[in-house]
Chains A and B, each alone.
Chain A
Amino acid sequence: MMREAQFAKAIGNWTAPLPHARMAVYRNNVISGLVNALNVRFPVTGQLVGHDFFAAMARAFAEMNRPASPVLIGYGGAFPDFIRGFAPAAAVPYLGDVAQLENLWWQAYHAAHSDAAPRQEFASIAPAAWGGLRFKFHSSLGLMRSAFAVASIWQAHHDGPGMAEIAIGTPQSALVCRPERHVTVRVISPAAHDFIAPLQQGARLAEAVEQMAVPHPDFDLALQLQGLMGLGIITGFSQ
């Protein structure tokens, strides 16, 4: 037997002593619920460090980060940054980046549906007007760059070649999207990343092209536009 007020106080503070031994069940359920949610959202991160290490790391995160909402789909967005600062994980320097990629995957998985703009729509715009165009992207689109072969590491845990075949220290840029039902993770060139990122932020096409000149002098606009259109993630245009 215990008092309601004691229970409410102790369940809100995970490091406080338990007023009753049986309260451990509830505290464990709360924490394991959050650890499970992180495990579902970050499966490759978990495979890279093993179940016990992941559970301890997730628990440390959960103790400092309570969900604000009962919709746990939204829980764990800050986990990649936490991992980057989590000293015991320092021996796996790419772990935070893999978690960031899994974050993009999760956001793409749950993103709202929208249809790609038909290719003719772009074709029908006069070339003289292209510079002023802004692109609308599918809400599933996510981009990242990493000092590690982050997309290859992720793919090695799905149906790609094994970890032994990956040069882990090769920098990679990745694009994640879900134009239709399935989420895709692609390695893209640094130029494609630097071209698409400002467009996603709402830059005009001319602005995005202009900032490519110095870092990517051999930037090929026609090729990049063709690649971008082929992804099926542009949902519209505005002037």
Chain B
Amino acid sequence: MKVPPAIPARAGIGLKAEHYAQVLDTRPDLGFFEVHAENYMGEGGPPHHYLSAVRELYPVSLHGVGLSIGGPTPLDAAHLARLRALNDRYQPGLFSEHLAWSTHDTGYLSDLLPLPYTAETLRRVCEHIDETQDVMGRQMLLENPASYLTFEESDLAEADFIAEFARRTGCGLLLDVNNVFVSARNLATDPHAYLAAYPLAHVQEIHLAGHDAVAEDSLLIDAHGSPVAADVWALYETVIARTGPLPTLIERDNRVPPLADLVAEARRAEDILRRRQRRAA
């Protein structure tokens, strides 16, 4: 029998192939697991076996990286159909994608690429969100990007752009606090000003991850290869103080550590969530 799909306002971690068997054997006390949709688009085998088993024990959230919502080209109908099939099969509590693009006329570009924020890009992002929500038959969340540069064309602030597509489409938001921090540092802006303008009322999930520093350019890279930084934890606390407890994911995609390390980081997030809950009580 499956546990209910809803993602609780607790901490979760990404489900990694390295940890499949250990998760089932030790059943760590976590609020949920998140999976990258594209890693489960093979036909069968251990990925589906383990995800099915984990889904029996935990709520699962589905996070896509390749839909290219922010791109100028039409959405890939075959890819949308694959997402729909995963959604139907695993009934994830949340489904999210990125405010970014990756489909290029030379092929798929394996990164989350930036878009200018204009009336025109807003219109096409809204169309793509509407189409995705129609095909999936559910609400989606969209995640704010980690930015390394800005476009001359942009005439809307990112937070205002996000507020506007959330208002027009009824989608929810995934707030990546590390991305807020990394972008602010790279673009020499204030993360608190960003959050003041950002529509926090629409946030249904938080992402926390580590970043890498590139010394020669004083640039921060959203690398997902290290523990969450102290500054990002502090920013997360200010967010939770305003939003109340929200499902919070510890992301780690590179240099994946032992399961216990990720569970310990999830505990740290849960401590912050619980403190906020007590204050509210």
Residues of A within 8 A of B (CB): 1-4, 7-8, 11-13, 20-23, 25-26, 29-30, 33-34, 36-37, 66-73, 108-113, 139-140, 178, 181-182
Alpha-carbon gap, A139 to B217, bound state (A):
50
Asked whether B44 lies within 8 Å of A4 as measured between CB atoms, the reply is no
Given the complex, which residues of A lie within 8 Å of B43, measured CB to CB?
A: 110-112, 139
Given the complex, which residues of B lie within 8 Å of A7, measured CB to CB?
A: 113-114, 151
Interface flag for B49 (CB, 8 Å): yes
Interface flag for B65 (CB, 8 Å): yes
Asked whether A181 lies within 8 Å of B152 as measured between CB atoms, the reply is no
Alpha-carbon gap, A66 to B103, bound state (A):
11
14 contacts between A and B (CB under 8 A): A1-B150, A12-B109, A13-B106, A26-B113, A30-B111, A36-B254, A67-B107, A71-B42, A111-B43, A111-B44, A111-B45, A112-B44, A139-B43, A181-B46
Asked whether A12 lies within 8 Å of B106 as measured between CB atoms, the reply is yes
Which of B172-210 touch A at CB < 8 Å?
A: 186
Asked whether A69 lies within 8 Å of B148 as measured between CB atoms, the reply is no
Partner of A37, one of B104, B110, B115, B186: B110
Asked whether B108 lies within 8 Å of A69 as measured between CB atoms, the reply is yes
In the complex where A71-B82, A110-B43 touch, is A4 in contact with B254 (Cβ < 8 A)?
Answer: no
B147 to nearest A CB, angstroms?
9
Q: How many chain B residues touch the partner (CB < 8 A)?
A: 44
In the complex where A29-B111, A30-B111, A66-B108 touch, is A22 in contact with B219 (Cβ < 8 A)?
Answer: yes
Partner of A25, one of B67, B103, B221: B221
Interface flag for B153 (CB, 8 Å): yes
The 9 closest A-B pairs by CB, nearest first: A70-B66, A66-B107, A33-B110, A110-B42, A112-B43, A29-B111, A22-B149, A112-B44, A113-B44
Interface flag for B243 (CB, 8 Å): no
Given the complex, which residues of B lie within 8 Å of A37, measured CB to CB?
A: 110
Q: Mark B123-143, 1 if CB is under 8 A from A, else 0.
A: 000000000000000000000
Given the complex, which residues of A lie within 8 Å of B66, measured CB to CB?
A: 69-71
Which of B259-276 touch A at CB < 8 Å?
A: none
B154 to nearest A CB, angstroms?
9
B84 to nearest A CB, angstroms?
14
B35 to nearest A CB, angstroms?
13
